[in-house]
Structure 1
Amino acid sequence: MQLPVINEIPMTIVFVRFLIFTQLSIIVPKIKRIAMQKILLTIIISSFLFQPEKKETFKPLVVLELFTSQGCSSCPPADDLLNEVKTKYSDSEVVALSYHVDYWNYIGWKDPFSKKMFSDKQRKYGHKFNSSSIYTPQVVVNGKEHFVGSNRGIMNTKLNDYLKKTSTNTVVLSNLKKDNNTISLDYKIEGTVSKKALRIVLVINERITSIKRGENRNRVLKNANIVVNEVSLNLDSVNGEASIIIPDIVTQSDDLSIVALIQTENLDITGGSQLRL
């Protein structure tokens, strides 16, 4: 019986395949290692080049905007509470503002500090909060939430909460000048100002009023941090100049303050400062 003859060509092919496989077993892992190293290097470089923008943060500032009226019988307790807060906290911690609305003037007493622009401001907040109506006394905290202004428990809770939250802006005011009925100033803002506005607020620190008519008739009311004028500037720079008119209701004996607030398009207040004149 004749033994089969092994074909030389197939054996050659087998040998070549063996060599290729052997070399690949060495080369492929090396290629994989090199590729992995390149991928890791790319990730590391990208992490430095494309880091998310780090927001600057500043010390907390709580801004309380009380919407009130001398013609509202529910408002005096809220006015008193706001005055307590103003006395308890420093100007660098809490900005307490009292906006007198005009929509209660028809019920007997025309609030001398009331303005339509303040009622309109409250309506804008109402739109943000999806409220079906506006009311007094109402406190808005940093433009983000609201509560009944006479509620001491909620007031204390919100103060504690917001005093733990950093601000993303701060404002430095300088070169304040008073010329007849106008106050001019320079401002410098720290933090981003894109799509934000600067509010300049003129405040009477305190005024006592005898109420002759309406729901609070025969009462003597003390109002604190009464807003008497306000202007808003859309920001395109971190520094600039601003001015505000002193209305006729301000007397020579009034102590005044200037408040500067930074507010987003969504009405969130991101920081500010206040300065007594």
Structure 2
Amino acid sequence: MKILKIAILVVFLVSAGMISKAITGHIHKVHSNLGDKGFAVVELFTSEGCSSCPPADELVSRIQKESAGQPIYILAYHVDYWNRLGWKDVFSNAEYSKRQGQYSEWLKSGSVYTPQIVVNGKKEFIGSEENTLRNAIKNSLQNSSPNTLNFSNIKLANNNVALQYHTQATSNNTSLVLALVEKAARSQVKSGENSGRTLSHVQIVRGLQNININGKADGNSSIIIPQGLNTKDLELIGFLQNESNGEILAASRTELNAINQLP
């Protein structure tokens, strides 16, 4: 009789353990799903004229390879203020330096530097700090956003990308930022701090358009493709940004190679 009671107790404990495990697994799954709507927009400010930048370029390249299929959006802006020091970065643009300066005001950092990374418009740090970047991405993915951004009716014609955007109604200080991104490129640097090096880059911003959507949940927009770029090498990344504090509210992307070219 005593043995029977022990056997019954063992069965009960095992069953209870299995139930507890099932409940725990279910809770874990629910928490994981809560992060499904999270996203990370990673903006790197870099330059071929900066000897500290190649490690940051290599870091975001690794992140890009690892994050296939995830809502991680990498944009590499090549600033132009290094150009006067011996090497003109062919990917540089004064608009990208201006954008970095805007982040200095939003984040009250008081200065600009390279390499610098900003995640979701809220956190900035040295672009080669791998642990900091990975933690920032992880935290961003775990925080779901109430906002969404989707594109439809995307058309290519005469070196122009036209589209319709769809989101929730937003405040009047929200802008839609469109970026044309070249997926990869290499450069042979012949002077400056990286003289003699062959540098590899990913997610290079080649065009940037900032549109105040005036609180409209739906609308039309467009961005020009710079001459000399092949659409098969490009993707379009768009995101909503609060113009008061720089916070990024939602993001989306589309491959231009998948869009039919109009005559």
1:84 matched to 2:76? The reply is no
1:239 matched to 2:211? The reply is no
Shift of 1:190: 3.4
Partner of 1:261 in structure 2? 239
* Distance change >3 Å, CA 132–CA 183, structure 1 → 2: same
Partner of 1:136 in structure 2? 114
**Structure 1 range deviating more: 64-73 or 129-138:** 129-138
TM-score (norm 2): 0.79
Q: Distance in 1 between matches of 2:170 and 2:247?
A: 14
Partner of 2:53 in structure 1? 75
Q: Deviations over 1:234-255 (max 9, x none)?
A: 113111111111112x433751
Q: Distance in 1 between matches of 2:179 and 2:225?
A: 11
2:177/2:208 contact within 8 Å kept: yes
Structure showing greater Rg: 1
Q: Tell me the secondary structure at the aligned position of residue 114 of structure 1.
A: coil
2:165/2:221 contact within 8 Å kept: yes
Partner of 2:89 in structure 1? 111
Q: Tell me the secondary structure at the aligned position of residue 163 of structure 1.
A: helix
Partner of 2:205 in structure 1? 227
Q: Deviations over 1:83-117 (max 9, x none)?
A: 11111113542001000000000111100111111
Number of matched pairs: 220
- Correspondent of 1:190 among 139, 152, 168: 168
Shift of 1:180: 2.1
Q: Distance in 2 between matches of 1:194 and 1:89?
A: 33
Q: Tell me the secondary structure at the aligned position of residue 272 of structure 1.
A: strand
Partner of 1:215 in structure 2? 193
Cα RMSD after superposing both structures: 1.7
Shift of 1:58: 7.4
Q: Distance in 1 between matches of 2:232 and 2:83?
A: 24
Identity %: 39
Q: Tell me the secondary structure at the aligned position of residue 133 of structure 1.
A: coil
Q: Distance in 1 between matches of 2:252 and 2:69?
A: 8
